[in-house]
């Protein structure tokens, strides 16, 4: 009924992004695989969370859902280490302080699991340059070794996140909901049997037909929708380049339908580049703090307010909206 980590592992990808229905067994499967590999082969693991505070309940809860599988073993967590029968089998590392671990040795670690790599609005925030920080941690652990896998697991919050943007991750479209490109794999951890069973629960019946049910049961991304998503066509004029999320987007006025479109296709030679976020400010970019700073941007905002602005995909839309909210 749950996500099958063995199927994922069979693709032999180094970086595996697993986005699944809440409660479908993503963390459970990773724990069991990590523990079994240590028991059989002595291979250790690293379990990553974003902040130190997210490890507060590990002492009482980390092993609670899998203890019945190991009735003759004593498992505990203390001092950023996971133990089985008094022997260290793994390490917990908060990404926010991972730079302090650069001198540590992890020569017996052959797997890295980053739990809840996608965050929701209002729940903490991504660390500045987070993807680079995570890659630095991976390099610290791997050194010159090849390891078994890196698993990044999360609930289906939004497809727009620093990791998918950095690695240009595209959604899988086949029946297995798995897509591998080189050493990168993305999988939607979705199981029909699990979904149907969850729908029949008392809570599942209560939330039936709601947006939350689509997210928590059917693995539809909670913060993503197709409103104002449309591919542009026809004659256009280039207005300006918008910088957000570390990326650049082209803002066009299409004359045929009198709509404004924001797309990933931008003109690298165009000199008018705007951003509304300090983190995206760089040379040859104008940081806007109000609409009076640019008549073109003011037209863009007014068009957005009246429903005349469209986006070429959900990622473009989400990043642009994050920039626009400071100006509305």
Q: For residue 14, give the DSSP letter.
A: S
Q: What local confidence, expressed as pLDDT, does residue 1 receive?
A: 47
pLDDT in tens, 38-95: 999 999 999 999 999 999 999 999 999 999 999 999 999 999 999 999 999 999 999 9
Q: How far apart are the first and last CA of the chain?
A: 46
**Reported pTM:** 0.71
Q: What local confidence, expressed as pLDDT, does residue 217 receive?
A: 43
Return the beta strands (E) in the chain as ranges. 15-20, 44-49, 75-78, 81-84, 87-94, 109-115, 149-155, 178-181, 184-189, 236-244, 247-254, 259-263, 273-275, 286-287, 309-311
Q: What local confidence, expressed as pLDDT, does residue 103 receive?
A: 65
Is 273:263 a contact under the CB 8 Å cutoff? no
Q: What local confidence, expressed as pLDDT, does residue 195 receive?
A: 54
What ranges do the domains of the chain cover?
Answer: 5-216, 236-324
Architecture per CATH, domain 5-216, reads as 3-Layer(aba) Sandwich (3.40)
Q: What local confidence, expressed as pLDDT, does residue 240 receive?
A: 92
Q: Helix (H) and strand (E) counts for the chain?
A: 10, 15
Q: What local confidence, expressed as pLDDT, does residue 65 receive?
A: 92
Q: In the β-sheet with 247-254, what is the strand arrangement from edge to edge?
A: 286-287, 273-275, 236-244, 247-254, 259-263, 309-311
Q: What is 155-177 written as a DSSP string?
A: ESS-S-SHHHHHTT-----STT-
CA–CA distance, 151 with 42 (Å, rounded to integer): 19
Please list the ranges in the chain whose pLDDT falls under 50: 1, 212-219, 222
Q: What local confidence, expressed as pLDDT, does residue 289 receive?
A: 64
């Amino acid at each position: 009924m749950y996500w099958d980590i063995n199927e994922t592992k069979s693709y032999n990808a180094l970086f595996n992004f697993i986005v699944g229905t809440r409660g479908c067994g993503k963390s459970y499967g990773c724990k069991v695989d990590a523990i079994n590999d240590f028991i059989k082969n002595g291979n250790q693991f690293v379990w990553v969370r974003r902040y130190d505070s997210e490890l507060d309940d590990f002492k009482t809860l980390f092993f609670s859902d899998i203890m019945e599988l190991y009735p003759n073993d004593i498992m505990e967590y203390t001092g950023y280490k996971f133990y089985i029968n008094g022997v260290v089998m793994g390490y917990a590392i908060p990404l926010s302080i991972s730079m302090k671990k650069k001198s540590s040795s992890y020569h017996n670690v052959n797997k890295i699991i980053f739990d809840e790599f996608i965050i929701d609005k209002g729940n903490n925030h991504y660390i500045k340059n987070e993807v680079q920080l995570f890659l630095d941690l991976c390099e610290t652990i791997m050194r010159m070794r090849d390891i078994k896998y890196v698993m990044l697991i999360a609930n289906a919050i939004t497809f727009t996140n620093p990791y998918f943007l950095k690695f240009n991750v595209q959604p899988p479209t086949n029946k297995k909901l798995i897509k591998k490109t080189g050493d990168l794999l993305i999988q939607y951890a979705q199981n029909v049997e699990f979904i149907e069973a969850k729908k029949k629960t008392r809570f599942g019946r209560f939330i039936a037909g709601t947006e939350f049910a689509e997210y928590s049961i059917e693995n539809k991304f909670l913060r993503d929708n197709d409103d104002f998503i449309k591919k542009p066509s026809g004659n256009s004029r280039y207005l300006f380049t918008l910088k957000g999320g570390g990326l650049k987007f082209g803002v066009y006025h299409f004359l045929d339908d009198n709509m404004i479109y924001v797309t990933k296709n931008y003109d690298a030679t165009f000199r008018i580049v705007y951003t509304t976020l300090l983190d995206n400010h760089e040379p040859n970019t104008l940081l806007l703090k109000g609409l009076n700073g640019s008549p073109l941007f003011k037209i863009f905002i007014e068009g957005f307010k009246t429903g005349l602005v469209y986006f070429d995909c959900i990622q473009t839309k989400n990043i642009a909206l994050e920039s626009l909210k400071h100006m509305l």
